[in-house]
């Protein structure tokens, strides 16, 4: 599969979990890939490079607009520009709003929302010049509905869906699209911590805790896989999705169908 041959994809937060799966899928489709994140960098690079394309890495702190701009500049200089931007970087903190630390709020809004704005603004220069581009924002089911104890995350993801729609409208007459994907429970390190916390709190085994947490929200009772999300992103980057604009595409086991 080489539908994206000659394209360069920048995927933020891509050294593990959803971001790494997306990076691997885009590489499999023929794209060169620039990784970003603080996970196992060498292992992530090797996993993506196994598909044959060029792989780069930039360690931008997604809380900092200047470092995000430097990452885009690096991609422009080393890879000729950003054709596909996947804004995936994200963090989570779970606590009631009256106990929510202000610094955690600021970091979640910066990484989960503001970073997408800064990266999009910088990447659009090259995309507009070429008349083609794909921007995919990894939002969440929490960009569509809320859950308790996740005030900052829900606020950021709702904001990311709104940003997606606005950017899509501004680009509607161009060859650049902007869409969001909205996963429910996905088997990632972030979700695994929440499953482990529930197991500890209820004094039950991890498998039982995972089934209980997922079953509370997702009628399918199954977690979404990172690979399924990668395939959805690859579709949104394809010519077949040229007129998919401004959607918030849920992949959530039926969570938001209720």
Task: Locate 13 and state its tokens.
Answer: 């937060």
| Beta-strand relationship, 8-11 and 133-138 | unpaired
**Secondary element (H or E) of residue 156:** helix 151-170
CA 54-57-61 angle, to 5 degrees, is: 155
Strand order in the sheet with 32-35: 55-57, 32-35, 8-11, 84-87, 133-138, 176-183, 248-251
Question: Is residue 153 among the annotated active site residues?
Answer: yes
Catalytic residue among 112, 118, 127, 153: 153
Q: Are the beta carbons of 82 and 76 closer than 8 angstroms?
A: yes
Query: Which of 208, 47, 215, 29 is CA-nearest to residue 134?
Result: 29
Catalytic residues: 153
């Amino acid at each position: 599969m080489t539908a994206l041959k000659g394209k360069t994809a920048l995927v933020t937060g891509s050294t593990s979990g959803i971001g790494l799966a997306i990076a691997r899928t885009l590489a499999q489709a023929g794209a060169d890939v620039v990784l970003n994140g603080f996970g196992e960098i060498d292992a992530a690079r090797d996993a993506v490079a196994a598909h044959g394309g060029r792989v780069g890495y930039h360690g931008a702190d997604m809380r900092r607009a200047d470092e995000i701009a430097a990452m885009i500049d690096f991609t422009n200089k080393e890879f000729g520009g950003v054709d596909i931007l996947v804004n995936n970087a994200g963090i989570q903190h779970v606590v009631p709003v009256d106990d929510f630390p202000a610094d955690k709020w600021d970091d979640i809004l910066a990484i989960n929302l503001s970073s997408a704005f800064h990266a999009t603004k910088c990447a659009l220069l090259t995309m507009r010049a070429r008349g083609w581009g794909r921007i995919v924002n990894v939002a969440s089911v929490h960009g569509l509905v809320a859950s308790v104890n996740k005030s900052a995350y829900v606020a950021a993801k709702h904001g990311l869906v709104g940003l997606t729609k606005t950017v899509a409208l501004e680009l509607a007459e161009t060859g650049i699209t902007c869409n969001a994907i909205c996963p429910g429970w996905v088997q990632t390190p972030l979700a695994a911590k929440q499953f482990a916390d529930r197991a500890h709190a209820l004094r039950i085994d991890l498998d039982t805790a995972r089934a209980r947490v997922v079953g509370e929200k997702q009628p399918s009772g199954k977690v979404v896989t990172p690979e399924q999300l990668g395939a959805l992103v690859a579709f949104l980057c394809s010519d077949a999705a040229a007129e998919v604009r401004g959607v918030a595409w849920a992949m959530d086991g039926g969570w938001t169908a209720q």
